[in-house]
Amino acid sequence: MAGIDAARTTAGPAPLTAAMVADYHRDGFLLLPGDHLPAELLAELVEAAPRVLAQQGPQRVLERDGVTVRSVYGPHRTDPVVARVSRSAELAGAARQLLDDEVYVHQSKVNLKAAFAGDQWEWHQDYINWRDRDGIPRPDLVNVTVFLNEVNEFNGPLTFIPGSHRHGLLAGTDTDGMPAGYEDGPNWMATLTATEKFQVDRAVIRRLAEEGGLVSPKGPAGSVLMFHPNVLHASSPNLSPFDRGMLLMVYNGVRNAPRPVASPRPDFLADREVAPIPLAA
Ligand code: SIN
Ligand code: MN
- 3-state DSSP assignment of residue 1: coil
- At residue 6, does pLDDT exceed 50? no
Q: Which CATH number fits domain 4-256: 2.60.120.620, 2.130.10.10, 3.40.228.10, 2.40.50.140?
A: 2.60.120.620
Q: Residue 273 C-alpha to ligand 1 middle, in angstroms?
A: 24
The ligand 1 atom at the shortest distance from the C-alpha of residue 113 is: 2
Report how far ligand 1's centroid is from the alpha carbon of 185 (Å): 20
Q: Which ligand is nearest to the CA of 121?
A: 1
Which whole-number Å values give the CA distances from 51 to 35, 72, 79, in the listed order?
23, 10, 9
Whether residue 4 is predicted with pLDDT greater than 90 in this model: the reply is no
- Tens of pLDDT, residue by residue over 11-56, are 788 999 999 999 999 999 999 999 999 999 999 999 999 999 999 9
158 CA distance to ligand 1 middle (Å): 6
From 120, 233, 236, 240, the mutation candidate for ligand 1 (largest count of ligand atoms within 8 A of CB) is 233
Q: Which residue's CA is the closest to the ligand 1 atom numbered 4?
A: 121
Give pLDDT, residue 3: 40
The answer to whether 224 touches 98, Cβ cutoff 8 Å, is: no
CA atoms within 13 A on the CB side of 148: 24
Distance, CA of 139 to CA of 250 (rounded, Å): 11
How does strand 141-147 pair with strand 246-253?
antiparallel
pLDDT of residue 2: 39
Q: Which ligand is nearest to the CA of 244?
A: 1
Per-residue pLDDT of 89-117, as tens digits, reads: 999 999 999 999 999 999 999 999 999 99
How far apart, in Å, are the Cα atoms of 15 and each of 44, 103, 122, 278? 21, 15, 32, 16
**pLDDT, tens only, 142-164:** 999 999 999 999 999 999 999 99
**Number of Cβ within a 10 Å radius of residue 7:** 8
Ligand 1: which of 53, 72, 111, 123 to mutate, judged by most atoms within 8 Å of the beta carbon? 111
**Angstrom distance (rounded) from CA 142 to CA 61:** 22
Which residue, 209, 214, 66, 85, is CA-closest to 153?
A: 214
The domain spans of the chain are 4-256
Please list every protein residue whose CB sits less than 6 Å from any atom of ligand 1. 111, 113, 121, 158, 233, 235, 246, 248
How far does the centroid of ligand 2 lie from the alpha carbon of residue 126, in Å?
A: 5
Ligand nearest to the CA of 194: 1
* CA separation for the pair 281, 276 (Å, rounded): 14
Q: Which atom of ligand 1 is nearest to the CA of 156?
A: 3
CA of 65 to the centre of ligand 2 (A): 21
pLDDT at 8: 54
Name all contacts of 277-280 with Cβ < 8 Å and 24+ positions apart: 277/86, 277/87, 277/92, 277/102, 277/103, 277/104, 277/105, 278/87, 279/12, 279/13, 279/89, 279/92, 279/93, 279/96, 280/12, 280/13, 280/89
pTM of the model: 0.95
Q: Which of 235, 236, 251, when mutated, tests ligand 1's pocket best, judged by the most ligand atoms within 8 Å of its CB?
A: 235
Residue 170 has a CB neighbour count (10 Å cut-off) of 19
Distance CA 124, CA 119 (A): 15
Query: Do the beta carbons of residue 151 and residue 219 sit within 8 Å?
Result: yes
Task: Measure 129 CA to ligand 2 centroid, in angstroms.
Answer: 10
